[in-house]
Amino acid sequence: MYLPVMADKPQKGEILGVPYNFERPSLGRMLSSYWKPGEKMLVKKPFGIGYTLNLANWRSWVVVLVAGALLWQERSSSSTDLEDEDEDEGPVEVIVD
């Protein structure tokens, strides 16, 4: 019985149109994959499955700013909710018939 070796499998390619790359990443390849002037907003990931943001494209910065604003809004609203809970005067008695 033949057991396939991992070296026989391709390290990079596409499955159903989604790219994958499991080659050992180098620092140069990591940095150059996130900054590709003239490319679209999404580029292939340097390691793993799928796409990532191209930080040389202005649309990517809009996505980062919107995500940051939503995160900031969520954290600030959750901290005010905690402050509102602290203002309660004590336990509330609930009677169920």
Q: What pLDDT is attached to residue 93?
A: 86
Q: Does residue 11 sit within a domain? A: yes
Distance between CA atoms of 67 and 75, rounded to whole angstroms?
12
| Structural domain total, the chain | 1
Contact 33, 52 (CB under 8 A): yes
Tokens at 27, concatenated? 């620092």
Least confident of 2-11, 32-41, 56-65: 2-11
Tokens of 54: 């191209």
Direct distance between the N- and C-terminal alpha carbons of the chain, in angstroms, rounded to an integer: 71
CB 51 within 8 A of CB 42: yes
Q: Are 11 and 21 in contact (CB under 8 A)?
A: yes
Report yes or no on 97 lying in a domain. Answer: no
> For 57-75, how does the pLDDT look when each residue is reduced to its tens digit (9 = 90+)?
999 999 999 999 999 999 9
| Greater pLDDT, 81 or 94 | 94
Where in the sequence is the domain holding 33, given as residue range(s)? 6-84
pTM: 0.62
Q: What is the DSSP letter of 5?
A: -
**Is 92 part of a structural domain of the chain?**
no
Provide CB contacts within 8 A for 5, sequence distance 6+. none
Establish if 52 belongs to a structural domain: yes
